[in-house]
Structure 1
């Protein structure tokens, strides 16, 4: 029997300090970039899943991923995310901005979620994966 998915990431688990706050943030961000809700604490793009789990303070010092970059299907999606982040006074690190040092078409915004995780939403149509 052939497996429906190729090699790649099955899921990513985020440990968060406030589950309700995190789910509220991501339930607004994810639909803008083409992800959908699987259940109250899990989201998918059809190939990968991200879910959230509230953890006690003792676990907040775990080392982890530097940042996660999500694909945007257009520059307009990056703009929409930027406008939404500005409207909620999110911690925007940079952008929306063109990054020609990566690729002539690379357009991105980097920001922090309510837990301080660094996220990026980038339109990069010429980037080969």
Structure 2
């Protein structure tokens, strides 16, 4: 077994209607929480990669599957910075930033990306992950 590999998600691929718009949108908040742009169509946090592929003419439909994707903020203030970046972009915020009762000091903002995907950025210092 390769000791450098560990269980986890290797990458996520987003199909988007407008690549330039989506890269600009995601860069506006991912850069605030430690993600780096590693190519014209991808970002990485050093352990995972997110790719964006432009798919013209593909209809977004409501279906079963993943409801949303949550990005970890390492500091509470990053959630507020994300909120400010979203306001500048005119993004539709679902809720937040606000404290939620999921765990002690869970601070979050939920919003829609340009194609209507639900995205969350949360600071979860006392989450029950891994227990």
Q: Same fold (TM over 0.5)?
A: yes
| Structure 2 unaligned regions, length at least 5 | none
Corresponding residue for residue 28 of structure 1 = 28
Task: List per-residue Cα deviations over 1:67-109 (Å, max 9, x = no partner).
Answer: 0000001110000001111122110000000002x01210000
Equivalences for residues 35-114 of structure 1 within 5 A: 35-58=35-58, 60-61=60-61, 63=63, 64-100=65-101, 102-114=102-114
- Are 2:18 and 2:56, in contact at CA under 8 Å, matched by a contact in 1? no
The alignment yields a C-alpha RMSD, in angstroms, of 1.5
| TM-fit CA distance, 1:57 | 1.7
The alignment covers a number of residue pairs equal to 128
Name the CA distance, whole Å, in 2 between partners of 1:71 and 1:18: 25
